[in-house]
Structures are given as C-alpha cells and as structure tokens.
C-alpha cells in the first residue's frame, strides 16, 4: 500500500456515501454504487494531451478535490486505497478488454479491476466506462448475477475468466473483458497506463468518452458520451439520444451531465471527434 492515505472524509463527501465504514459486503456494495454514480469515467486528459499520473496523491486530487473523473487505472487505484484503509483485503488484478471484439483477438493487458476477499472472493470494478459495476460480483459462481443495472456473469474457459454483460431486452451474453486473475502490480499498471494514455492506436487516443451511472426520480440507468453522441439509457431498455452540435455545447453537456467543468474555449483533438 502507498504511504499516502486517502482523506476518507473528502472521498465520501465526493461520492455521497454515508454508511458504515466497516469491511462488510453491504458496505462494499454501497461504496461501489456511490462511486460509479458520482465520479464519471472519462478520458479528457488523454485527448487533451496532458497524460495521466497514477501516483495516489495525484489521483485523489483529480477525482476528489478537482471533481474530475478518469479511467480504470485511476478509479480502481483510488478505490483500492480506500478499501484497504477501511480494512478490506483487496488485490489489484489485470484484464484484457474484449468489448465488441471476438475472443480470437488478443488486446493488451490494460484493464485494472479488484478482487476483494470477505467470506468468499468478490469482483469489484468501478472503472469500466458505460459498464462500470455498481455492486460486487461473486467470483465463485458462473450463475447470472443481478446488479442495479444490467445482468452480469463470470464464466471460465481454459483457465481464463470472462466478465460478461446482458443488456436489457437482449438474450445474448457479451464479453466485456478476460482475465487470468493474476495480480497487477504497480509497475504493470504504470506500463498499461502509459500505453493507454499515449500510444496512437489506443482506444482512448481515438475518441472522447464519458460515462456514469445514475439513480434519480426513482429511475436507474446510465449516461454515456462518445464524441458528439450523448445517450441516456434506462433499465427498461429505453434510450434517449442527442447529437451535440458544437464544441461549446459539448462543454455544456460535460458540465451538466457529468459534472465536468472545463475552462470556456477548451477544445478536444481526437480523430473521431469532428464538427
């Protein structure tokens, strides 16, 4: 564990979590849900060419103090530190993202998620974009598991674990990522972060992305932004879509829908964001 300690009061003020600070399954699930409903997934610093600093003080400053978001290495690194300080036994694991890809495709090992050991092992992942988990999944079963959003399951094949999702109204199970459940030490996270945030072929260098879960007015769903396309999805399968018309409207959407305040006149340069 890093010598730096997260200010838990500030972190919980950021997420709105007011429950017990004890290492229990109930607290774990509630902390994960509060996190994904308040701290957005986003890659703005990558497309702005600023880079991503994984030092824990920098991650805390960005996600908590500056009320920004980030991607898996930032989200799950912060949650790892928080859970460890609360007395949980948590381990960082690495995975390969397969979303919209066949299993014959072998991507880089650039996803970070967590294993949390209580009475049995649990998977926690608050950093997977529009499919970030708002709960914890049992690692010891292949049965479908309910979440506040989509159904999920963890299936094993040839010594590998596949994290799958089932969207409302779609009977198909879709692979999200695959993992051998090996620990991902800090040096591997640094290498994965460097590739993800700087390599020209990185998905995060190609387009602007923001996402968060929501619960409001008795409804639960997800809000996602890919370049100029804003989508609000509801649990019943309804989707509201809006195409953003200008760079200034994009800044307004980032502020209103994701709480991401950027200076007026900010412009993003990535190949798939065109006006």
Active site residues: 72, 111, 125
How far is residue 122 CA from its own chain's centroid? 17
Residue pair 177/99 in contact by the 8 Å Cβ criterion: yes
Rounded Cα distance between 107 and 7, Å, is 35
The beta strand positions in the chain, using DSSP E, are 41-42, 89-97, 111-117, 121-124, 137-138, 151-157, 160-166, 174-179, 209-216, 219-226, 229-234, 239-243
Residue pair 113/127 in contact by the 8 Å Cβ criterion: yes
Residue found under tokens 């094993």: 156
- Of 236, 207, 208, 239, nearest to 223 by C-alpha is 239
Is the Cα dihedral 144, 173, 71, 121 positive or negative? positive
Burial class (CB in 10 A: 0-12, 13-18, 19+), 15: buried
- Of 251, 260, 176, nearest to 211 by C-alpha is 260
The two structure tokens encoding residue 242: 């809006």
> What DSSP state is assigned to residue 145?
B
């Amino acid at each position: 564990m890093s010598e730096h300690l997260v200010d838990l009061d500030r972190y919980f003020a950021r997420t709105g979590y007011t429950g017990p600070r004890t290492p229990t399954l109930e607290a774990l699930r509630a902390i994960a849900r509060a996190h994904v409903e308040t701290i957005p997934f986003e890659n703005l610093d990558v497309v702005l060419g600023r880079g991503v600093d994984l030092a824990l003080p920098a991650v805390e400053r960005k996600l908590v103090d500056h009320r920004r978001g980030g991607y898996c290495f930032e989200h799950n690194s912060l949650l790892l530190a928080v859970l460890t300080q609360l007395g949980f036994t948590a381990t960082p694991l690495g995975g390969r993202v397969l979303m919209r890809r066949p299993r014959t495709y072998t991507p880089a090992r650039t996803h970070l998620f967590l294993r949390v050991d209580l009475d049995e092992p649990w998977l926690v992942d608050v950093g997977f974009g529009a499919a970030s988990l708002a709960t914890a999944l049992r690692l010891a079963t292949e049965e479908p598991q309910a979440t506040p959003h989509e159904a999920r399951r963890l299936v094993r094949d040839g010594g590998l674990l596949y994290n799958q999702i089932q969207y409302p109204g779609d009977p198909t199970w879709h692979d999200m990522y695959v993992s051998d459940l090996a620990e991902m030490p800090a040096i591997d996270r640094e290498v994965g972060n460097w590739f993800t945030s700087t390599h020209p072929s990185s998905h995060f260098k190609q387009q602007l992305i923001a996402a968060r879960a929501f619960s409001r007015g008795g409804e639960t769903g997800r809000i996602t932004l890919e370049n100029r396309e804003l989508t609000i999805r509801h649990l019943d399968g309804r989707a509201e879509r809006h195409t953003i018309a200008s760079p200034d409207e994009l800044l307004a959407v980032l502020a209103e829908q994701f709480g991401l305040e950027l200076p007026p006149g900010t412009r993003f340069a990535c190949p798939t964001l065109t006006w």
